[in-house]
Amino acid sequence: MLFRKQVMYGAAATLTTLFGSVALSERPGEAPRSRGRGTIRFENRQTQSKVNFILNNGTTDDKPIIDSTLGGVALFDFDNDGYLDIFFTNGARIPGLVKENESFYNRLYRNNHDGTFTDVSQHAGLKGEGYSMGVAAADFDNDGWTDLYVTGVNRNVLYHNNGDGTFTDITERAGVSGRDANGKKRWSVGAAWVDYDNDGYLDLFVVNYLDWSPENSKVCGKEGKRLSCSPALYHGLPNYLFRNNHDGTFTDASAETGIAGQIGKGMSAAVADYNDDGFIDIFVANDNERNFLFRNANGRTFTEVGVEATVGYNQDGLPVSSMGVDFRDLNNDGKIDVVVSAIGDSAELLYNTTKNDNHWILIDAIGVKSNRDGIGTRIKITGESGLVQYNHVTTAGSFASSSDKRVHFGLGADKRIKEIELRWPSGTVQVLRNVKADQLLKITESDK
């Protein structure tokens, strides 16, 4: 497990890899930590790519706290042409929290297969509403097309992918607007798709942050030199868990599952079956407070075990300011490309230009009895050298962002893989033997 320790009121960018996920954050103007270090090299091809997105947080002289926590990126193949497309979230005018002009629109860029991208946000119907924060991509209705959930301060939106290049906002019908029982919208930052009850349909976990509104916004620092206030000045919020009803609607299961009982200051979530009982668990990175680890009890309820599992605090027993989170074993040495969104600046498209002879494999798990995205599938690979690696399918992880669901393994010198074992959420165990490296391997869940 890896999570960042960074004070949240330093504005953060978001890194999401084209082939998996990393948990890194940078302040605007700083070079990404991994760039140029050691043997790994990245080259920013933003100009050539025609991805001209600039993250506009709409900040004002009072520096309201919402201005530093946005900037989600999703890498997903919205048109199923085999090439990853890029979606960015964006801010809005403060205090109105309305996307008044196109500088605030969320953006979808279609991959043209030649290193360039085309802005298709308008046609796709994804320009968005309100002050957006994060994004989570997955195929929640198992129709083969990846859908999007966009979180925000005053709007959360679920977009159904129509399969023809357009999306439809189905938030209200689906029942996932993020408003509480009193109709008050909670400020959501992260979200994660997870099939917590193993019924073959993805459920939605929404990470809520602070009880902020334009009316209760605090100001800090001297007039003319305002600073973003500490999150300690605001109350936290409980998170949401929405259970998929298989008909395009969701039931708010936050109370019955025990999720609603924990108040935090959540920024992002990651999912993994950490105790290997076949039910996926949920880790929430809280800012300035102890983190949560929700242990799944048989797909019905969750127990918060962050402290006993020793992830609640840092090694000094203090809460850490956790922003991004990743549950994976990151070692996720092949060529990994990265997209970065930075407040007030152009996005960066960092292509990995490292020269080496390492081998790799990219696995696309397609569920049949399990959810179609295969989210939650545990993959164990044994290389010809005997090297064993584990990973699992997820799109959650990294700050407010959504990664490619395909699972990448670096194989070092191994040109062949002795064995690939998949343990699907349905319980099915599937084994492939003697597989060659350096390929995208689609594996469909077997029916036995």
Place of tokens 């959930």: 149
From 48, 52, 101, 275, residue interacting with Ca ion (rule: CB under 5 A): 275
- Does position 385 interact with Ca ion (CB under 5 A)? The reply is no
Min separation Cβ 117 and Ca ion, Å:
10
CB 207 within 8 A of CB 266: yes
Q: State the sign of the Cα–Cα–Cα–Cα dihedral 6, 9, 13, 15.
A: positive
Residue number with CB closer to Ca ion (26 or 404): 404
- Does position 438 interact with Ca ion (CB under 5 A)? The reply is no
User: Parallel, antiparallel, or unpaired: how do β-strands 107-111 and 117-119 relate?
Assistant: antiparallel
Residue number with CB closer to Ca ion (57 or 254): 254
- Does position 294 interact with Ca ion (CB under 5 A)? The reply is no
Min separation Cβ 389 and Ca ion, Å:
20
Residue 261 CA to its chain's centroid (Å)? 23
Indicate the residue type of 336: I
Q: Which of residues 137-156 bind Ca ion (CB under 5 A)?
A: 139, 141, 143, 145, 147
Tell me how crowded residue 390 is: count the other CB atoms within 10 A of its CB.
Answer: 13
Segment contacting Ca ion by CB under 5 A, of 31-39, 249-257, 292-300, 358-366: 292-300
Residue number with CB closer to Ca ion (27 or 300): 300
Min separation Cβ 309 and Ca ion, Å:
11
Segment contacting Ca ion by CB under 5 A, of 48-56, 131-139, 356-364, 439-447: 131-139
Query: Pick from 193, 185, 236, 239: which is nearest to 214 by CA?
Result: 185
- Does position 348 interact with Ca ion (CB under 5 A)? The reply is no
Min separation Cβ 84 and Ca ion, Å:
6
Min separation Cβ 240 and Ca ion, Å:
15
From 180, 211, 273, 345, residue interacting with Ca ion (rule: CB under 5 A): 273
H-only helix segments in 50-120: none
| CA atoms within 13 A of residue 91's CA, in its CB half-sphere | 24
CB 347 within 8 A of CB 339: yes
- Does position 129 interact with Ca ion (CB under 5 A)? The reply is no
- The number of residues that bind Ca ion (CB under 5 A) is 23
Q: Which of residues 177-216 bind Ca ion (CB under 5 A)?
A: 195, 197, 199, 201, 203
H-only helix segments in 229-309: none
Q: What angle do CA 239, 96, 89 make, to 5 degrees?
A: 55
Min separation Cβ 144 and Ca ion, Å:
7
Residue number with CB closer to Ca ion (203 or 445): 203
Indicate the residue type of 209: Y
CB 117 within 8 A of CB 86: yes
| CA atoms within 13 A of residue 55's CA, in its CB half-sphere | 28
Residues for the chain: how many in total?
448
Q: How far apart are CA 78 and CA 429, in angstroms?
A: 29
Segment contacting Ca ion by CB under 5 A, of 63-71, 148-156, 238-246, 304-312: 238-246
- Does position 300 interact with Ca ion (CB under 5 A)? The reply is no
CB 439 within 8 A of CB 362: yes
Segment contacting Ca ion by CB under 5 A, of 116-124, 211-219, 241-249, 426-434: 241-249
Min separation Cβ 425 and Ca ion, Å:
9
The strand order across the sheet containing 429-436 reads 388-392, 378-383, 416-423, 429-436
Residue number with CB closer to Ca ion (139 or 304): 139
Q: How far apart are CA 330 and CA 332, in angstroms?
A: 5
Q: Which of residues 67-126 bind Ca ion (CB under 5 A)?
A: 77, 79, 81, 83, 85, 111
Residues in touch with Ca ion (CB under 5 A): 77, 79, 81, 83, 85, 111, 139, 141, 143, 145, 147, 195, 197, 199, 201, 203, 244, 273, 275, 277, 279, 281, 296
